[in-house]
Structures are given as structure tokens and as C-alpha cells.
Amino acid sequence: MTKEFTSALHGEWIKIRTLRSLLGTLCAVLLATVLFAAFADDGPVDHDALFSVFFGVSFGQIAAVAFGVTAVAAEFQGGALRVSLAAVPHRGRWFAAKLTAIALPMLAVGLVTGLVTWAVGSAVLQEPSTVEGLRGAAGCAVYLTLMALLAAGLTAFLRSGVAALSILIPFLLSVSFVVGDMSGNAADFLPDRAGQVALHSTWDGTLGPWTGLAATALWTATALAAGAWRLRHRDA
């Protein structure tokens, strides 16, 4: 890690920890996900106990997306991006530092969220499963981080937090489910549906837990590449 990148990362981390809205969204990730674990239901005999515990991730991911969007959208307000690039003229290095400053706290919060959710859900259901629980906790952390980064990349491409949220929130809350019901196995490759396979005990689709996360990672990489391209080819 070069001195220039370390300095850029330090500057981006200061922005993250000093914006209350960003800290609030990180807290919301934990609270929304764990809250649903506290009301996990035994369900029928063949129910998916692991996903019953991690069902709240469907709502926690909204906060994760908001975190990624807000962290990047702030740069396109009031000429903040010009100031950032004046301090770090290399746009690629600045964007990498910004993404790292988003990913690290999101991964840490995601891991805490996953472990606490598993602990609470296991206590409620009284069905502890160490292997599945740890896989679910790890999958939760990786999935939330990937969704936050996907949101960051899309925001950088659109250069607007409102536009990014207008696409992502309806997609996660409704469009993905509608498309899934109509398209069969093709929907298994949508970013949210693919990544959440890691939160299930069993799965019938094309992808497994880790291949599902890999598919989500590919969506994220595409969004980040698009964001980086737009950043390089547009004036601040």
C-alpha cells in the first residue's frame, strides 16, 4: 500500500466517520437484520431455519445500499469532488480509496450483524447449527458489503444518489421478486437473489452459496467498472 493511497484512504475514512447519516445507516443494517431474527418462526417441518433467522437481511440490505450511495453521492454536491481530486489528483487512486473506506466498515458491521443475528435466531428457534450459522454469518457480511459497493459504483456512474436509490430500492423491494416469478432460473443470477443463497440451509436453484456470492460480485464489479469509467471521462 503506497503512501499516497494510505493518505487518500485516511482522508476518505475521516469523511465516513464524521457524517452522522453514514453512521446511522451502518447502525440500521445491524438493527433491521437482528430485529427480524428475534421474531424468527419455526414454521413447517421442512422450513428453511437458516433463512428464517437471516430473513431481516432483505431489509438490512436497504441500509447497506443507502450507505454506499450516500458515501459517494456526497462527492457530487457543492463541488466536493473537486476538493477531493485536488487532494488526490489520480482519480483511480481516489476512487479505490473511497471504495475501501466503504467496504471495510461495511464488512465489519456485516460480520457483527451476521454473528449477532445467528446468535439471536438460534436462541429463539433453539436449533443451533454451528456450520450453517457461521456460513450464514460470513455470507451475510460478504453479501452486504457487495451490495454497498454495487450501490457506490452505480452512484458514481449516474453521479446522483437520488437516481441510484430510485433504481435500487424498487428493484430490491419488488422488481426482483416479480422478475423472479416470471423468469424462472434466470432470476437466480440477479444480484440480490444470487447473493442471498448463502443465507439458506437448502437451495433448489442453479447457484450455491459461494457461486451465488460470486455472481453478486460480478454485478458489483460491473457497477464499479462503470463508475470508474464515468469518473475518468467526466469533469469534476
Q: Map grid coordinates 421478486 to a residue.
A: 177
At 229 the pLDDT is: 96
- Calculate ∠ Cα 219-156-17, nearest 5°: 100
The answer to whether the CB of 111 falls within 8 A of the CB of 30 is no
Closest by CA position to 235, among listed 79, 34, 22: 79
pLDDT for 13 beyond 80? yes
Q: What is the mean pLDDT of residues 92-105?
A: 96
Q: What is the mean pLDDT of residues 8-19?
A: 92
At 79 the pLDDT is: 85
Q: Supply the pTM of this predicted model.
A: 0.93
Per residue in 100-133, pLDDT tens? 999 999 999 999 999 999 999 888 877 656 788 8
Q: Which grid cell sits at 58?
A: 432483505
At 45 the pLDDT is: 46
* 49: three-class secondary structure by DSSP: helix
Q: Which residues are within 8 A (CB) of 35 and not within 5 positions of it... i.e. 6 or more apart? A: 56
**E-strand stretches of the chain:** none
pLDDT for 164 beyond 90? yes
Round the average pLDDT of the chain to a whole number and report it.
89
Burial class (CB in 10 A: 0-12, 13-18, 19+), 224: buried
At 129 the pLDDT is: 66
Question: pLDDT > 90: what percent of the chain?
Answer: 64
pLDDT for 176 beyond 90? no
Please state, as a whole number, how many other Cβ atoms lie within 10 Å of the Cβ of residue 17: 13
Q: What is the mean pLDDT of residues 171-196?
A: 79
* 159: three-class secondary structure by DSSP: coil
CA 191, 195, 200, 204 dihedral sign is positive
Per residue in 31-48, pLDDT tens? 999 998 887 766 554 578
At 205 the pLDDT is: 79
Instruction: With cut-offs at 50, 70 and 90, classify the pLDDT of residue 173.
Output: confident
Instruction: With cut-offs at 50, 70 and 90, classify the pLDDT of residue 188.
Output: confident
CA distance 140 to 36: 14
At 92 the pLDDT is: 92
3 state SS for 6-43: HHHHHHHHHHHHHCHHHHHHHHHHHHHHHHHHCCCCCC
Please tell me the chain's helix, strand, coil percentages from 3-state DSSP, rounded to the nearest 5.
Answer: 85, 0, 15
Least reliable range by pLDDT among 35-44, 90-99, 218-227 = 35-44
Question: pLDDT > 70: what percent of the chain?
Answer: 92
At 132 the pLDDT is: 85
Please state, as a whole number, how many other Cβ atoms lie within 10 Å of the Cβ of residue 170: 11
